[in-house]
Structures are given as C-alpha cells and as structure tokens.
Chain A
Amino acid sequence: MVSIKDLISKPEPLTGGHRACAGCGFPQIVKLILMASKDPVVVVCATGCLEVTTTIFPYTAWNVPFLHNAFENSAATASGVEAAYEALRKKGKIKGNINFVAFGGDGGTYDIGFQSLSGAMERGHNLLYVCYNNEAYMNTGVQRSGATPMGASTSTEPAGKVKPGKQRARKDLTAIMAAHDLPYVAQATAGYHMDLIRKAEKAFATPGPKFMNVLQPCRLGWAYDPKLTMEIARLAVQTCMWPIYEVENGKFKLSMKPKEKKPVTELLKLQGRFKHLFKPGNEKMLEQIQAHIDNKWNDLLAKCGEQ
C-alpha cells in the first residue's frame, strides 16, 4: 500500500489555487483517489462544485486529462472514453494502461445521473465511478437530493413551522450499486484518508466497473466551522450514520467498527442544517433518525457477518 510519504513525492493531479470553499472535503478526496493509481489517470466529471471550482476558463486546476460533459452523464461519458481507449489500443494507436475515473456529486449520481451510472456499470466498462457525496445540491444552493439524510434542512425541503426538514431517509445507493454485482463497491469518507487510499488502490487493481461512495462534509450546506470538516467526516463513521465498508465480488466487509457507537446527536449538533431538530417538539424526529441509523447498521453488520 502506498504511504503518505510516497504520496507527497508524487505530482499532484489537482493543483491548489482552485476555487473550492475553505474547508471543502472534495479536493482531498479527489487527490487521494487519483494519487492511489499506479497508472496514468483520465478524469471525467459531472457538472457540480468540483467542475465549476476547478475549470473556470481559461484556467484549469487539472494536471491530468479532464473532460466535463454535462450534469447527469459522467458515467456514460466515461464509458465512451473507455470504449475509445479500447478501440485505439487494439489498433496500436495507444499503449499502456490508463485508469478511467468518473466523478459526480450526489445530485449527479443518486438523482439525475442514476440511470447513466447504472447503465455504465451494468455494461461492465473498466472504470471507477466516484460519488463525492455532500448530501445535497451544494453547487446551486443546498437543494435536497436523494442522498440528503432525514431531518436535514435544505433549500427545497426546509425546516419550517410544520415540517422539520427532510421527511424521508436517503436511498442506499452503495447497496444498490452492490446489487449490480460489481467486482468492487466501497463506502468511504474524506475523514479516514488511509482507508480511502487503500480502497482506491483496490478499485484500480480490480478490472471492470467499480463504484465508490465517499462522504464529503460541505461546510456551506451543512453549516459548520470549516476547521471541523475532517472531524465531522470521522464522526459520521463513529455514529454509524456513514459506515465505511467494501463489497468485493458480493462479499460485504466492514472497514471500521467503532469501539463505542456514538449517538447521532453528537454529529447532528455540530451542523446548522440540523439545528431545528434540537428545538422542543422535534424530539421524535431525532428518535426516528437514530432508529433508522440503528436499523441500517444492524443490517450492515449482518451482511458483513459481524453478528
């Protein structure tokens, strides 16, 4: 496994000077994943924060080949790139292995790009799809997505006088991708960087379609002090709200089992998007959130053979 020491001697695929917010989690995710590749990488990216903050013409923060097409089609676009690579390789026009990585936010992955992702994965293209998941449409002003957790206040499902934020839990996209029978599926977070690097290495070493769902705290949409990004990412794992695990050829394996499962309120209370839940009258919502996390966690433990 590559060490941090190895990484710092490698050229950066994504330079500094881009326009992501202070405290944004995705530059770290993108860099660590791409630097875990032994072979050259080619990046395809959906419309979203990552694209708009790194490619404002005539500048680019990318030191590796980069293609942005539209919002909902980074998986389909990457599948075309990979098909062209195969065609050109067979004709001897290109030599050497290239790892193809498609990035999309949760809006571009869970929602509008869901079909494109499912199709590309089912067809079996040799590429890694990474969802940098900040649990809402952050680029356009914190609108709810299919990845937004229960109870969160977003600009399209806000907390109000009669509704305490998002009514339903997010869909379990990682499990849905595992149900595509992919050779490698993983859930990770920016907060545990060695785990993230190890998973990326494993994904790159696995031929075929791979999917990684990486939780990325968003200081703007989650409304917290930017210095807390990594702490919040780790708390998400320690509360089991975002368990980190992998699925290799259908076999679930937990990456980290917290010694002590912290109550979800420890995570929620740090974030402005949940502050309404701590007002009198919303106790039931907090209970529902905790119950949902407990259920999902127990299911996951069972899948991982940990019970």
Chain B
Amino acid sequence: MPSFAAKTGNEAMAEAMRQINPDVVAAYPITPATEIVMIFSQFVADGLVNTEFVPVESEHSAMSACVGASSTGARVMTGTSSQGLALMYEILPIAAALRLPIIMCVVNRALSGPINIHCDHSDTMGGRDFGWIQMFSENAQEAYDNTLQAVKIAEKINLPAMATTDGFIIIHCMEKIEMLDTQDIQSFLGERKAQNSLLDLEKPVSFGGLDLQDYYFEHRKQMADAMDRAGDVILEVGKEFGKKFGREYGYFEEYQMADAEHVIVALGSTCGTTKAVVDDLRSKGEKVGLLKLRVFRPFPAKEIVTALSKAKSIAVLDRSDGLSTQGGQLYTEVCAALFENDKKIPVIDYIYGLGGRDISIDEIKSIYADLKKGNKNKINYLGVRE
C-alpha cells in the first residue's frame, strides 16, 4: 500500500533507491548530495537492501565502477552533484556509448568557480550532451517518482539517465510525499534484461573496443537514434506510472497554458514559485502561464513549440549561464525549436539564481510584467548587482 511520509528530497531519492534495491551502487560524498549516499549506506549496513555498495575514492571512480558493474547486466545506481558530476564527465559519454542504463540521482549545484555549494543547474547542463536522459524535478515527490521511472526508461532504451533535483531548495526541505509499495515498484520495474553480459563466459564479448573512422560515426548515429526513441519511452513509462500509481508524467507540465498569452518556461524548483505567481496574477485576470519542463534530454522541441504556439511572449528562466553570450542553455534550445518551426514569438532569457541566489515572487512577477509591456533586452541577469 502507498503511504505518506515527511521526507526531504535527499531522503526521498535515497528511499527510492532502497525500494529499487539495485545490484550495485558506487558513490562518493559531495555536498549537498552526500546525504543520499549516507542514508543508502545505512540501508546497506542494516541489511535493508541486497546492494553491493562500492565506497569509491572519487566520483570519477564512481562512474567507472558503475560502467564496470552495469556491463555485467546488473542494475546500477549512483548519485552526485556539481564538481562530482564534473569529475564524471569523461566517463558519462562512455556509459552512454556502451549503452549502459546506469541511473544517477543528481543534486543540482553550481559549478566552481568561485566555489559555491548551492543550487544552480550548471553541473547538469554541463553534462547535457553526453547521451544521458535528463529529467528535472520540481519537488521531493517528483524527485522520488523520476528516480523510479528513470530506471525503467533507461533499461528500455539502453541509455543512462539522470533524475535531477535542486540542491538545498528541494533536497534539504521536508515535504509530504507519497511513497509507493516496494512490491509494486518491483513489479513495475521488473528485472533488467541486458543484451550482453561481461560475465557471460559461454559467449565472451569485448566491450569498448577501438572504433575508428569506419565505425565510430555509425555507432554515434545509433546513440542519436536511441535518444530519439527515448522520447516515446519516457511518455510510455510516464503513462504507465500514472495508470499504476495515479501520477502521470510527460515531457512537461502545462500550468494555466490553455489561454495563456505570457508564458514562462522553467526547470526545477522555481516552477513551484512560478505557479504561485501564476495563481495570483490569474486571480487578477491576467492571462499568464507556465511551461514546466521535466525532460531536458531528449529535448522535446516539437511538443514545446505546440505548447507555446498560442503565446504572445515567452520568458525562459535559466538557472545556468553557458557564457556563450547567447543566453542560457534552455533559452537557446527553446529559441532554436521555435525558429525551426517558424514561430515568431518574442522570447527573452532571464538568467537567475546562480549559486543558489533566491528567486522571489516579486521577481517572477516582474518577469511577467516585462512580458506584458515588452522587453527589448534579449538576455537579462535577474537581480544581479552590477
């Protein structure tokens, strides 16, 4: 039976890992994701899971051990944040190219430098082009639900997946969440069925061979095709999850979008605050809406364009700055999607909340006000002192 519990985002993800009961977890502590590793280690110590826990000496080794473990056909998980994720960057595309469905709980935290431990999305955005599925969570419930679904999605398409959540804002904040029955989760996930196993002694396979001009390109195209197919798998799993557990998930949530003229597109916890602003402005008769993007990789461009097609103006909120001089990563992708589909809607970018800087209700209101009156400044740094 499902039950309600008060859990922080970190606890919610660790509980999801307990209920998934993976074969191997290899992880290394890093603020603010450490707690996931600590809580899970206690589950191991108390015999609540059958997992082999590998307490590695770095995140690089964590992801390396995950690759080794996953190549045997085992179900494998890890968790990290910021510099830890950056230290894994080298191995992330290898995991994807070996088509290993490793699941990673990522707690979004600003990348150094300067060093900072608080939330922004620069770490996850830095890992956006490595062939990993990426899902963002608004709250602890979604962090829990996304972690569970990530396993099924990844194993269906044989690509690794990140379920991400916002450092401190979600992971240190206690919320009421609905926890599912472990048996139900196990029957929802089933067992991993790997095509090849490194431990298959009858049919020895060489994994990770040297791939030169004559094959590398084809293998990369196969990864691109898999990422393309991942979209349907994400929708399918989100629907099945909804049918079984009552909470359906898609690429995004459309909040008051039916007749919205001025729309914010955002990721993660800020969407919760934005919903409060939308409610407030709607009560005053303003036609505002929110497109809360859940899936960043694969990027559901066509569906986003459809959802935004009736808007008169759009603001994209980026909790990360690519320093490309062209705005944050979400902004450039939304712009590209609209351009490709011949939608000429004004889109402006608000880079906000870097290094955990709070974003307030008033600031979000000011964005909607900008949209209403028109803002010629394409790229804005919300609330920064200059």
Contact = CB atoms under 8 A, between A and B. Distances in A.
Interface of A: 40, 42, 44, 51-52, 55-60, 62-70, 72-73, 76-88, 90-91, 94, 98, 115-116, 118-120, 122-123
Contacts of B134: none
Interface in B34-78: 50-52, 54-58, 60-62, 64-74, 76
Contact of A84 (B55, B62, B74, B200): B74
Interface string B202-218: 00111111111001000
Contacts of B207: 66-68
Nearest to B212: A56
B56 A81 contact: no
Given A69-B64, A72-B60, A78-B68, A87 B208 contact: no
A96 to B, nearest CB: 8
Contacts of B64: 69-70, 73, 76-77, 80, 116
Interface string B225-244: 00000000000000000000
A177 to B, nearest CB: 15
A56, A72, A80, A119: most-surrounded residue (chain B CB, <10 A): A80
B208 A55 contact: yes
A85 B65 contact: no
B199 interface: yes
Nearest to B68: A80
A265 B66 CA distance: 47
Contacts of A40: 201
Contacts of B50: 87, 90-91
Given A42-B199, A64-B204, A84 B52 contact: yes
22 contacts: A57-B212, A57-B215, A58-B215, A59-B209, A64-B204, A65-B206, A66-B206, A69-B208, A76-B60, A77-B64, A78-B68, A79-B56, A79-B61, A80-B66, A80-B67, A83-B52, A83-B69, A87-B50, A87-B52, A88-B73, A94-B199, A116-B57
B198 A80 contact: no
A138 to B, nearest CB: 16
Contacts of B212: 56-57
Nearest to B205: A65
A67 B24 contact: no
A67 B204 contact: no
Contacts of A122: 57
A67 B94 CA distance: 12
Contact of B204 (A56, A63, A85): A63
A94 B72 CA distance: 11
Contacts of B65: 76-77, 79-80, 83
A118 B57 contact: yes
A162 B205 CA distance: 51
Contacts of B66: 80
B91 interface: yes
B26 interface: yes
A51 to B, nearest CB: 7
Nearest to B219: A57
B71 A67 contact: yes
Contact of A73 (B60, B71, B200, B215): B60
A40 B156 CA distance: 31
A84 B57 CA distance: 18
Contact of B56 (A65, A68, A78, A119): A119
Given A98-B199, A119-B56, A84 B206 contact: no
Contact of B68 (A66, A84, A94, A115): A84
Nearest to B211: A57
B68 A88 contact: no
Contact of A119 (B58, B199, B210, B211): B58
Interface in B120-176: none
B303 interface: no
Contacts of B73: 84, 88
A124 to B, nearest CB: 11
A88 B91 contact: no
Nearest to A44: B68
3 nearest A-B residue pairs (beta carbon): A80-B68, A119-B57, A80-B65
Interface in B338-368: none
B279 interface: no
Nearest to B201: A40
A84 B76 contact: yes
B210 A87 contact: no
Nearest to A100: B68
A87 B197 CA distance: 14
B166 to A, nearest CB: 29
Contacts of A58: 209, 215
A122 B57 CA distance: 9
A70 B58 CA distance: 15
A85 B43 CA distance: 20
B90 interface: yes
Contact of A86 (B52, B57, B206): B52
B54 A80 contact: yes
A87 B198 contact: no
A81 B198 contact: yes
A87 B209 contact: no
A66 B68 CA distance: 11
B333 interface: no
Contacts of A88: 23, 72-74, 199
Contact of A116 (B61, B76, B200, B204): B61
B199 A51 contact: no
